[in-house]
Chains A and B, each alone.
Chain A
Amino acid sequence: MSARERVAGNVANYVDERTGSAKWLKKTLTKVFPDHWSFMLGEIVLYSFIILLLSGTFLTFWFDPSMREVEYEGSYEPLSGLKMSAAYASTLHISFDVRGGLLMRQIHHWAALIFMAAMVAHLMRVFFTGAFRKPREFNWIIGVGLLTLGIVEGFLGYSLPDDLLSGTGIRIAEAIIQAIPVVGSYLAYFVFGGAFPGEMFIQRIYTVHILLIPGIFLALITAHLMLVWYQKHTQYPGPGRTEKNVVGYPLMPVYMAKAGGFFFIVFGVTAFLGAVASINPIWIYGPYTPGQIGAGSQPDWYMGWLDGLVRMAPPLETHAFGYTISWNILVPGLIIPGIIFTGMALYPFIESWMTGDKREHHLLDRPRNAPNRTALGAMSITFMLVTLINGGNDLLATHFDLSINQIMWFSRIGVFVLPPLAFVITKRICLSLQRADRELVLHGRETGRLVMLPHGEFIEVHEALSPERAYTLTQHEQPAAIAPVVEDENGVRNPKGAKAKLQARLSRAHSEQIAKPTAKDMLEIENHH
Chain B
Amino acid sequence: MTNEIAPLTDPGLPEHVHRKADVDERAAKKAERQVGILFLLSVIGTLLFIFSYVGIDEDTFIFVPIMGTTNAHQLFLGLGLAMALFFIGMAAVHWAKTLMPDHEVIDVRKEQRSKDEDRADFVATVKERSAEAGLGRRPFIKRTMGLALGLVGLSPILLLRDLGPLPENELNETNWAAGTRLVTDPGDRPIKPSDLEVGGVVQVQPAFPEGKERHLDDIAKDSVLLIRIRPEEFNLDAERFSWTYEGIIAFSKICSHMGCAVALYEQSTKHLLCPCHQSTFDVTRAAKVIFGPAARPLPQLAITVDSEGYLVAKAPFNEAVGPSFWERDSK
Chain A residue total in the interface (Cβ 8 A): 123
B267 at the interface (CB under 8 A from A): no
Q: Could you jot down 13 A-B contacts, CB within 8 Å?
A: A175-B259, A189-B164, A232-B107, A240-B106, A265-B86, A268-B84, A289-B216, A297-B260, A393-B278, A475-B7, A479-B3, A516-B7, A518-B8
Quick one: closest A residue to B12, CB to CB? A240
A198 at the interface (CB under 8 A from B): yes
Would you call A297 and B276 a contact (CB within 8 A)? yes
Q: Given the complex of chains A and B, what is the CA–CA distance between A523 and B197 in angstroms?
A: 91
Chain B residue total in the interface (Cβ 8 A): 100
Q: Given the complex of chains A and B, what is the CA–CA distance between A248 and B104 in angstroms?
A: 5
- Which among A314-322, A338-346, A376-384, A418-426 touches the partner chain? A314-322
Q: Which of A231, A275, A310, A441 contacts B77 (CB 8 A)?
A: A275
- Which among B124-132, B307-315, B321-329 touches the partner chain? B321-329
Q: Given the complex of chains A and B, what is the CA–CA distance between A231 and B113 in angstroms?
A: 11
A190 at the interface (CB under 8 A from B): yes
Quick one: closest A residue to B276, CB to CB? A297
Chain A residues 258-281 with CB under 8 Å of chain B are 258, 260-269, 271-272, 274-276
- B residues in contact with A408, CB < 8 Å: 278, 291-292
Q: Which of A190, A247, A322 contacts B105 (CB 8 A)?
A: A247
Distance (Å) between the CB of A392 and the closest chain B CB?
A: 12
Q: Given the complex of chains A and B, what is the CA–CA distance between A106 and B106 in angstroms?
A: 43
Quick one: closest B residue to A479, CB to CB? B1
- A residues in contact with B105, CB < 8 Å: 30, 32, 247-250
B138 at the interface (CB under 8 A from A): no
Distance (Å) between the CB of B108 and the closest chain A CB?
A: 6
Would you call A189 and B167 a contact (CB within 8 A)? yes
Q: Which of B11, B74, B113, B258 contacts A103 (CB 8 A)?
A: B74
- Which among A151-159, A166-174, A212-220 touches the partner chain? A166-174
Would you call B111 and A262 a contact (CB within 8 A)? no
Distance (Å) between the CB of B50 and the closest chain A CB?
A: 11
Would you call A293 and B107 a contact (CB within 8 A)? no
Return the 5 tightest CB-CB contacts between A and B, nearest first.
A275-B78, A268-B86, A261-B92, A264-B89, A240-B13
Q: Assuming A360-B111, A360-B112, is B166 touching A265 (CB within 8 A)? A: no
Chain A residues 219-272 with CB under 8 Å of chain B are 231-232, 239-240, 242-250, 253-254, 257-258, 260-269, 271-272
- A residues in contact with B3, CB < 8 Å: 477-480, 515-516, 518
Q: Given the complex of chains A and B, what is the CA–CA distance between A298 and B39 in angstroms?
A: 41
Q: Given the complex of chains A and B, what is the CA–CA distance between A186 and B163 in angstroms?
A: 10
A452 at the interface (CB under 8 A from B): no
- B-binding residues in A (CB < 8 A): 30-32, 99-100, 102-103, 106-107, 135, 168, 171-172, 174-176, 178-186, 188-198, 200, 231-232, 239-240, 242-250, 253-254, 257-258, 260-269, 271-272, 274-276, 288-297, 307, 310-317, 319, 322-326, 328-329, 332, 356, 360, 362, 393-394, 404-405, 408, 441, 467-468, 470-471, 474-475, 477-480, 515-520, 522
- A residues in contact with B161, CB < 8 Å: 190
B289 at the interface (CB under 8 A from A): yes
Q: Can you list, as one digit per residue, whether each of B271-305 has a CB less than 8 Å from chain A (1) or not (0)?
A: 00001111100000000010111111000000000
B116 at the interface (CB under 8 A from A): no
B85 at the interface (CB under 8 A from A): yes
Q: Which of A197, A232, A470, A518 contacts B216 (CB 8 A)?
A: A197
Would you call B325 and A178 a contact (CB within 8 A)? yes
Would you call A311 and B12 a contact (CB within 8 A)? no
Would you call A195 and B295 a contact (CB within 8 A)? no
- B residues in contact with A522, CB < 8 Å: 8
Chain B residues 108-163 with CB under 8 Å of chain A are 108-109, 111-113, 160-161, 163
Q: Given the complex of chains A and B, what is the CA–CA distance between A243 and B10 in angstroms?
A: 13
Distance (Å) between the CB of B51 and the closest chain A CB?
A: 13
Would you call B165 and A194 a contact (CB within 8 A)? yes
Give the interface centre of A30, A249, A264, A474 by most chain B CB atoms within 10 Å.
A264
Would you call A261 and B11 a contact (CB within 8 A)? no
Would you call A317 and B330 a contact (CB within 8 A)? yes
Q: Given the complex of chains A and B, what is the CA–CA distance between A242 and B52 in angstroms?
A: 54
Interface of B is mostly: loop
B211 at the interface (CB under 8 A from A): no
Would you call A324 and B163 a contact (CB within 8 A)? no
Q: Assuming A290-B220, A474-B8, is B325 touching A324 (CB within 8 A)? A: yes
Q: Given the complex of chains A and B, what is the CA–CA distance between A250 and B325 in angstroms?
A: 59
Q: Which of B10, B89, B253, B291 contacts A475 (CB 8 A)?
A: B10
Q: Given the complex of chains A and B, what is the CA–CA distance between A159 and B106 in angstroms?
A: 49
Would you call A296 and B93 a contact (CB within 8 A)? no
Quick one: closest B residue to A196, CB to CB? B220
- B residues in contact with A312, CB < 8 Å: 293
Q: Can you list, as one digit per residue, whether each of B236-253 has a CB less than 8 Å from chain A (1) or not (0)?
A: 000000000000000001
- A residues in contact with B82, CB < 8 Å: 268-269, 271-272, 274-275
Would you call A179 and B323 a contact (CB within 8 A)? yes
Quick one: closest B residue to A102, CB to CB? B74
Beyond known contacts A196-B220, A289-B216, A310-B258: 7 more, CB 8 A cutoff: A32-B105, A194-B165, A268-B82, A272-B86, A310-B293, A322-B329, A393-B278
Would you call A324 and B107 a contact (CB within 8 A)? no
Would you call B221 and A289 a contact (CB within 8 A)? no
Distance (Å) between the CB of A338 and the closest chain B CB?
A: 18
B23 at the interface (CB under 8 A from A): no
Distance (Å) between the CB of B83 and the closest chain A CB?
A: 7
